[in-house]
Structure 1
Amino acid sequence: MIGLYGHRNLNDNLLQEWILNWDEQKYLDYVNSNITIKSDELNKQLVEHIQLIKEIASQGWSGEKGYFFDSIIQPMNQFIFNCYFRGGLTIASVANFHEVLIEPSDYHTKKALVEGYDYVEKGNVDIYLNGEIIGNIGHMSDLFWHAFYDEYIVHDDFGGINHVRDNQQELTLQIWKPNIINNNFELDELIEKILYECSIKLGLNFKLAKFDSFQKEKGNAKYYSVELNDKSPERIPLQYFNFANYTQIGRHKYLAYYQVIEFFYIRAMEKYKGLKIKEIDMVKHIITATNNDDEIKEWLYSQEQLFDYYTIENQRYPSIIPLTLKEDILNIITRRIYSIRCSLVHSKEAPENSNFIPNLNDEILDKEVPLIKFISSKVIEKSNLI
């Protein structure tokens, strides 16, 4: 079984064991974190619900192999799916079955697997290990649909159902071989290996996909106007700056904005003729010449959701230098930006959390983008001062 019915590769005994090991407190915590009205009576009912499912599971399954899942999910609700079935932001993990949302990273790959336009037919990629099939890339399973139903559906004010993503167009990677994955780290390693092998051996390029919470926002049909600056900035730095809008990946945005600063290195070097300087000295000169303390502080105070992030020491990432407002803030920003840039550009083996690894540190880098975007915009606007 593959694709829509890929979850029928679940091992019935492992599924039973997995359900019987559910932590009831985990369910209580999850539900109570998502509701406003709480009570002891409700908690009692929640626990009884989980105990009922465990009791059903304990009776085992005598039906057709692989269909235990279809039977056992009948008394479950969306809270249960969300709490227990989600192994990550876009990963469903149930016993020996794991499924992750992916997407083609180029049109060649998409057209190699997806035929049609509105109504589509999908191909698939069977994945083998030592001659035995262990997984598949293709149509998402019913299990994944249940686990992430609320990422695809929103209800309007009148009770109507709206689709925010087209699940018929989605691709997932399914892995179901028992006993080859012992923890999330091994699962992540196997996923990366599969994506690599597909690229090298098949010429099919995939990337991990993400659910975007903004897709569920209704949006606003606002009208805007913009007054153009009567000064004309240099074209090439503008192109680097605007290139950041071509991607949603934080590390790519960051480097695009950094290249705005880097563009002016030659001019900065002219200020240091005959002197032995480092790259960070040029970065500092460019930032200091085009930015000032008051503008930066005003911008920082306007970033209500990020102010603490920028100004409090990050215990996990030593390359992120906190912005101390009472000290030389331009010098600190220079060190912070240059340090992060080096962590992105250099991939040499280093202590944990010294470098920013793709797909592992994206959330942190997304928070860093607004700061360097602001700094690089000032570099463009005041480049005549460099």
Structure 2
Amino acid sequence: MLQTVGEWLWWDRLWLPANLSWSDLEDSEGRVYAKASQLYAALPCALCLLLVRYLFERYMATPLADVWGIRDRVRLPAERNPLLENYFCSQTRVPSQAEVRSLCKKTGWPQRTVEVWFRRRRNQDRAGLKKRFCEASWRCLFYFFAFLGGVLALYDKPWLYDLREVWEGFPKQSMLPSQYRYYLLEMGFYLSLLLSLTFDVKRKDFKEQVIHHIATLLLLSFSWISNYIRIGTLVMVVHDSADILLEGAKVFNYAKWHQTANTMFLVFTFLFVLTRLVLFPFWLIHCTWVYPVEHYAPFFGYYFFNIMLLVLQILHIYWAILISKMVYKLIFSKLEGDDRSDEEENDSDSLKERNHKFRHMNGSGARGRANGH
């Protein structure tokens, strides 16, 4: 049965245009083609990146945070109470006033004490400021070198300046060493993000981030196997460009360099709109949707690749909504931190205020990214 499934999975008509087979993509005539077996290298690459990230955050980002005076707030632990802990884990993290009164009767605690317990318990699950700084520093560093690698791999290629060259001679296009290294680095990074989800900072767009990482890995894998490498490199470099500024703005914001952070964020917003809402749909998706049919009839892989690009575009629109709200706050109020992250609470916050904040954050998340990208 596994053999039958494998034969269907690798059926030529699924992934290649008509009149072509996998035998046509075997190394010959001086051409070297990408092979599916090379994708396994993404796993050791991801593990290496996780190790590099650990060393960077511990020996570079953490000392830098100390130099800049970035400290975690002192948090008072929630008093041990099995009944409230069970309610927190199984029912809700933010109880209503009626639920608080009911819990007061069960525990014998005053309402104020129960409210403070839930605030402190929620704070225990939030990442500290230093952890957020280290994570943003790592992503900023990676996106910078990834974007630099993409530019070096593309600057002298004709398909960067004329998108019709992307499909010239497709699929018999030889793989270049620079393309292999660029793909391996990007796939390893997004796989490392999936592997590190359990200990990374949890944000309001967590589910969207997971969808983005999985869609990106599927796109990269398919484009590698079907020799869509030229367009794949263009998609990656367009995504990485704006993410550098986003993570950089977070780094400076955590360091309280607010003017620098705000300036970087505004430049990021402009670049995000240009790359994700203009270049990506009207340049890259147009390239993958219109130009290929000039060379061959549409096939399953053609539709699959374009649908995955549309999934990314939907996520871009979602993140654009979040970013627009952050720009509004920046211009008309005070923007502190990443709007996708939970705010740390004080014991003095009232339950009414906290429930209002929680509903606002959930509403913005439901209506609404590096990464990324």
Fold match (TM-score > 0.5): no
- Return the structure number with greater helix share: 2
- Return the structure number with greater strand share: 1
Q: Which has the higher contact order (CA 8 A, sep 6+)?
A: 2
In the superposition, the TM-score normalised over structure 2's length comes to: 0.23
Work out which of the two has the higher radius of gyration on C-alpha atoms and give 1 or 2.
1
In the superposition, the TM-score normalised over structure 1's length comes to: 0.23
